[in-house]
């Protein structure tokens, strides 16, 4: 048994999931989170069948499923004419096709479920207010520094998000890309049952913007994200945003969409960013996981799913390999192609979603003419994936 635990910098979805995954093979993990508590901020997350498989492997699904919501369908609508461009049923047939359901959940509820399981586990230690500020690979172990001093680990996972300090320590600076889009989110609670027409995951495609909404909190709140073309420089996930700015940007929209924007408040905003391909995620006893390795724009709704899949693949690689360095190389080789494809596809969607003029007409025609079954076939590379294999 190694004498030091695996250190994990960052207590987001990637960090908590990898602590749970690694301890399945009898390893001890110590997670260091810079915040004083697991963050309760953030918007809704989509949990497709691939993410459900990972949550089941981590033994967390039972605990987070009650806070999730089962949307009946995905609707894609033109934001100006209101025309339905595509409709995909997510009920029993979808579940038969992919073997697991499609759910949506608030980020805070997923984090709470993962944190609860991690706290119950004797092999996991959680340290808060513990920002990792320096990293040194000493050959036989790693040494990191936090405000409380230095400590040693058998290895280090950089699960510290898109602006990862661990990635910088690997010499992989410069990957962060800012895009000319600003994302806004609001969470509106309902004290009576939510109107039926809001139960679907609805994607509205507008000129120079798009809006997605769906219920979270077991159907008691509506999560809404509005993306607008524009530049805003900030690292903040939760800067307050003015509703007037959003309403002014989305001029001449369909009345159904106008109504959803009008009932939603308060709004917060963050700047759209992703990572250019990071050449090398691992060196000896250190590797990157989740957004630290491969943050993508959120338009395929796969950020949380990729972090969960990473954790499972990493744990499976650690079970098979004869050393932690070999496990990290195997994990990186397995995860790079898939996460890169997600990031590239999300980038392409960012352009298509906000199109105007002839591109918008062509996009709408393609969406309208595609049979829903064919549409799902095109998404199968995402949803069929089983990280446990
Ligand atoms: C506060 C917050 C709100 C978010 N809201 C949304 C949202 O609304 N919509 C969306 O699509 N995505 C959101 N995300 C991103 C989304 O959660 C991730 O894309 C996805 O879940 C992958 O998670 P991750 O664990 O890799 O990274 P993250 O979720 O970014 O988690 C990284 C964690 O590492 C911690 N950390 C950072 N640096 C250090 C350090 N040096 N030492 C120790 N700890 C460190 C952070 O505090 C954070 O808890 C949010 C992330 C955060 C942190």
Average pLDDT of span 49-66: 97
- Kindly state the DSSP code that residue 65 receives in the 8-state scheme: G
Assess whether the C-beta atom of 271 lies below 6 angstroms from ligand 1. no
Tell me the two tokens of residue 45: 């997350």
Q: Which of 332, 387, 318 is nearest to 154 (CA)?
A: 318
| Average pLDDT in the chain | 95
Tell me the two tokens of residue 149: 């001093």
pLDDT at 317: 96
Ligand 1 atom at shortest distance from the alpha carbon of 39? 1
Assess whether the C-beta atom of 161 lies below 6 angstroms from ligand 1. yes
Is the model's pLDDT at 79 over the cut of 60? yes
Question: The pTM is what?
Answer: 0.96
| Helix runs in the chain, H state only | 13-23, 49-57, 61-64, 92-98, 107-120, 165-169, 243-249, 255-263, 291-294, 303-320, 324-353, 357-369, 372-383
Cα separation of 282 and 327, whole Å?
Answer: 10
The ranges assigned to domains in the chain are: 6-175+275-383
Per residue in 185-202, pLDDT (tens digit) is 999 998 888 889 999 999
- Contacts of the segment 147-155: beta carbons below 8 A, 24+ positions apart: 151/7, 151/30, 152/4, 153/4, 153/5, 153/6, 153/7, 153/30, 153/285, 154/2, 154/3, 154/4, 154/5, 154/6, 154/27, 154/285, 154/324, 155/6, 155/7, 155/285, 155/286, 155/287, 155/324, 155/328
107, 308 contact by CB (below 8 A): no
List, in order, residues 6 or more apart from 374 with CB less than 8 Å away. none
Ligand 1 centroid to residue 59 C-alpha, Å:
22
Ligand 1 centroid to residue 380 C-alpha, Å:
27
pLDDT at 240: 94
Q: Which residue's entry shows tokens 């038969």? A: 96
Helix axes 303-320, 324-353, angle to 10 degrees: 160
Assess whether the C-beta atom of 107 lies below 6 angstroms from ligand 1. yes
Ligand 1 centroid to residue 360 C-alpha, Å:
33
Cα separation of 302 and 306, whole Å?
Answer: 6
157, 139 contact by CB (below 8 A): no
Give the residue, by CA position, lying nearest to ligand 1 atom 30: 161
Assess whether the C-beta atom of 226 lies below 6 angstroms from ligand 1. no
Query: Backbone phi, then psi, for 48, in 5-degree steps?
Result: -75, 180
Annotated catalytic residue 214: yes
Listed range (93-102, 174-183, 277-286, 307-316) with the worst mean pLDDT: 174-183
Is the model's pLDDT at 320 over the cut of 60? yes
Ligand 1 centroid to residue 86 C-alpha, Å:
32
Pairing of strands 201-206, 73-78: parallel
Look at 351 and 331; give whichever has higher pLDDT. Answer: 331
Alpha carbon of residue 58 to chain centroid: 17
Assess whether the C-beta atom of 151 lies below 6 angstroms from ligand 1. no
Per residue in 209-240, pLDDT (tens digit) is 999 999 999 899 999 999 999 998 888 888 99
Residue 182, strand partner residues: 228, 271
Cα separation of 26 and 18, whole Å?
Answer: 13
The CATH architecture that domain 6-175+275-383 belongs to is 3-Layer(bba) Sandwich (3.50)
pLDDT at 2: 63
Cα separation of 88 and 93, whole Å?
Answer: 11
Task: Report percent pLDDT > 90 for the chain.
Answer: 89
Q: Which residue's entry shows tokens 């002014």? A: 248
Side-chain half-sphere CA neighbours of 335 within 13 A: 35
Pairing of strands 142-146, 29-32: unpaired
Tell me the two tokens of residue 180: 């000319």
Look at 3 and 248; give whichever has higher pLDDT. Answer: 248
Ligand 1 atom at shortest distance from the alpha carbon of 15? 25
Average pLDDT of span 65-84: 96
How many CB atoms within 10 Å of residue 188? Answer: 16
Assess whether the C-beta atom of 44 lies below 6 angstroms from ligand 1. no
Ligand 1 centroid to residue 36 C-alpha, Å:
14
Catalytic pick among 57, 214, 331, 353: 214
């Amino acid at each position: 048994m190694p004498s030091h635990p695996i250190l994990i910098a960052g207590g987001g979805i990637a960090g908590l999931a990898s602590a749970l995954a690694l301890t399945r093979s009898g390893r001890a993990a110590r997670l260091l989170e810079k915040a004083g508590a697991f963050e309760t901020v953030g918007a809704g997350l989509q949990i497709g069948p691939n993410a459900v498989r990972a949550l089941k492997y981590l033994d967390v699904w039972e605990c987070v499923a009650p806070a999730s919501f089962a949307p009946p369908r995905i609707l894609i609508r033109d934001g100006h004419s209101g025309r339905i461009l595509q409709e995909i049923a997510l009920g029993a047939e979808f579940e038969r096709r992919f073997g697991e359901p499609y759910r949506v959940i608030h980020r805070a509820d997923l984090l709470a479920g993962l944190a609860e399981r991690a706290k119950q586990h004797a092999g996991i230690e959680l340290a808060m207010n513990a920002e990792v500020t320096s990293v040194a690979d000493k050959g036989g172990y790693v040494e990191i520094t936090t405000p409380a001093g230095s400590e040693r680990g058998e290895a280090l996972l950089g699960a510290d998000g898109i602006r990862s300090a661990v990635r910088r320590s690997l010499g992989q600076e410069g990957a962060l890309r800012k895009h000319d889009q600003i994302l806004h989110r609001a969470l509106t609670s309902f004290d009576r049952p939510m109107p039926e027409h809001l139960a679907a995951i609805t994607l509205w495609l507008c000129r120079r913007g798009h809006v997605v909404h769906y219920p979270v909190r077991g159907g008691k709140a509506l999560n809404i994200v509005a993306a607008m073309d524009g530049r805003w420089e900030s690292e903040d996930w939760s800067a307050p945003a003015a509703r007037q700015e959003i309403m002014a940007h989305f001029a001449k929209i369909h009345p159904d969409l106008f109504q959803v924007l009008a009932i939603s408040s308060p709004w917060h905003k963050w700047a759209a960013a992703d990572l250019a391909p990071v050449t090398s995620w691992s060196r000896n006893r250190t590797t990157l996981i989740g957004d630290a390795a491969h943050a993508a724009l959120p338009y395929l709704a796969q950020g949380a799913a990729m972090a969960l899949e990473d954790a499972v693949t990493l744990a499976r690689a650690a079970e098979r390999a004869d050393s932690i360095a070999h496990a990290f190389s195997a994990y990186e080789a397995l995860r790079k192609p898939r996460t890169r494809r997600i990031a590239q596809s999300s980038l392409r969607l960012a352009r298509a979603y906000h199109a105007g003029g002839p591109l918008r007409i062509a996009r709408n025609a393609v969406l309208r003419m595609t049979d829903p079954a064919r549409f799902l076939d095109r998404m199968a590379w995402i949803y069929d994936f089983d990280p446990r294999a």
